[in-house]
Every structure is written in structure tokens, then in C-alpha cells.
Amino acid sequence: MADRLGAEIVSVDSMAVYQGLDIGTAKPGIADRERVPHHLIDVVAPWETYNVARWLADVTAAIAGIRRRGHRVLFVGGTPLYLRALRDGLADVPGEVPEIRRRLQADVAALGTHELHARLAEVDPEAARRIHRNDAKRIVRALEVAACGGPLSAAFAPAPHPVFGRQMMIVDVSRELLRDRIDRRVERMFAEGLLEEADRAQTAPGGIGPTAAQAAGYTEALAVLAGTLPLGDAIRLTQQRTRQLAKRQLTWLRSFPGAVWIAA
């Protein structure tokens, strides 16, 4: 499609931004990147924190460069929060507060995500309705924002200045096929060296940060390396988490008005 459109590709993937995390994020190969320029891949080290606000700044610069070269822009990826920010802009919500975030992450470890989701439902019911009770990262972020005096649900409201508003196409495959592809992909990830990739990331200078470590596959791979999870269980858990992620993605994507669903 990029060839036919004369387009450059911009990745819309919150995990593909991390350098060295290639197998678990299914980044496009070198040959594909040489054939068509790709952007927003390998942006930061695994220990760094990367969020939607930073991605929007980077993507705005990428769009400007692509347009200067006279090319079209093709956004490809499955992080719906980034897609929504791209289409609707980003609402003005408080930034990260490290002290509050550390405390909330400790609560997750001690009490579990369901307990914190119940806490979120008390302070911001709308955010709790939109965030899955197993999604620790976004539960922590919502409670962090609430602690600063603002509901995260405000971020779901369209902002007045979209960064890029064009046609969105969603490839819709059957749930049975999707499940089968997820299961086979996870098996392939571990077979192709996910454990070794996770080990390199955690032993490199700076290590692997909490954001990157939460990605499906890496959490389980790190547990295998630590000796707390058998390999077979790690594969099954990664398959389960990835299926849950796909379900949440579909829920997000159904909320985009005017999107064209393409049966595949």
C-alpha cells in the first residue's frame, strides 16, 4: 500500500519505540524498512519512559518531514490510545508525578489490579468503565491523574485540534483466525529468542524500565529468567494476555466514528 500511495510509514505502536525489543514487538524487518521509510521505531532505550504526549511530539515532527519530501503518510499500528490522540488531539491532563506513581505501583504489587480498579471506580467512574480491570498501567495513570485533581476521563474527550484527520481503515479478521494467529505468533516469539532478547535488555546499562517490561511477552520472559515461571506457563500466559489485548483493541476501535472496517 505504501508503494502504491507513494507513502512513508509511521508506526502507531507504543512498544515498537523501544530499541532492542524486536521479537516481542514484531517490528518490520530491515528489508521492509529499506524498501519504505518507517518512523517512530527504535526511538528510545528500553529503560526510558515513553508516553502518548511524547509520541505526539515525535509524530508531528515526522509528519512535517514526510510532507516536505512530498510523500503521503501511512499510519500503521495497533495502539488505540495513540490513534485517538492522533485523530482527536490530546486533552490537557497532568503529567507524570514520580512519587505518586511509585506509590501506586507498590499498591498494585501488594493489592492487585482489581483492588486499584475498584478504587478508580470510586474517584473516576467513567475512566474505570473504559479501562480494563487487569490493565495495571492505565489504572495507575488514571489514579495518578485523579490524585493531581483531574479525572483521566477528560482525556477521552475530543480535543479541538487533531494532529492528523484522515480516513481510518480497520482490518477485521474472524475471532477464530485472530486467536490462532496470536497463539502461533507467541510460540514463534519464544522459539526465535524472546528470552535472550529480554535478558539482553535487562542486563544492558539502564536495564529495562517498567513501561517496556509490562509488554505482553516481556513480563513473562523476565519471570522465566528469574526462575519464577516455567517456560510452558509463560507461553500460555503470553497468549492469554495478547488475546485480552486484542479484545481491548477491538473495543477501542469500535469507538472511532467513520472508520471503514475491511473484512479479511
pLDDT in tens, 22-42: 999 999 999 999 999 999 999
Q: Domains in the chain, please, with CATH?
A: 2-92+161-168 (3.40.50.300), 98-156 (1.10.20.140), 172-253 (1.10.287.890)
Tens of pLDDT, residues 158-178? 554 566 667 788 889 999 999
- The residues, ordered by sequence, that sit 6+ positions from 22 with a Cβ below 8 Å of its Cβ are 197
171 strand-pairing partners: 262
**Which residues, including other chains, have CB under 8 Å from residue 98's CB and lie 6 or more apart?**
none
- Write down the residue that cell numbers 502518548 correspond to: 52
Residue type, 197: E
* Least-confidence region, from 134-143, 145-154, 177-186: 145-154
Torsion of CA 77, 83, 85, 87, to 10 degrees: 130
- Its pTM stands at 0.74
pLDDT-based confidence at 155, cuts 50/70/90? Answer: low
Q: Which residue has the cell 488475546?
A: 243
Q: What are phi and psi of 170, to 5 degrees?
A: -120, 120
Query: On the CB side of 21, how many CA atoms lie within 13 Å of its CA?
Result: 33
Query: How high is the pLDDT of residue 94?
Result: 56
Residues 6+ apart with CB under 8 A from 8: 2, 36, 37, 38, 39, 66, 69, 71, 72, 73, 74
The pLDDT, as a whole number, for residue 9 is 97
Burial 207-245 (b: 16+ CB within 10 A, else e): ebbebbbebbbbbbbbbbbeeebeeeebbebbbebbbeb
The distance from CA 145 to its chain's CA centroid, rounded to whole angstroms, is 19
Q: How many CB atoms lie within 10 A of CB 41?
A: 19
Q: Among 3-17, 33-47, 71-85, name the one with the lowest average pLDDT.
A: 71-85
Determine the 3-state secondary structure of 12 from DSSP: coil
Backbone angles phi, psi at 193, to 5 degrees: 115, 30
Instruction: Give the lowest-confidence range in 9-18, 58-67, 255-264.
Output: 255-264
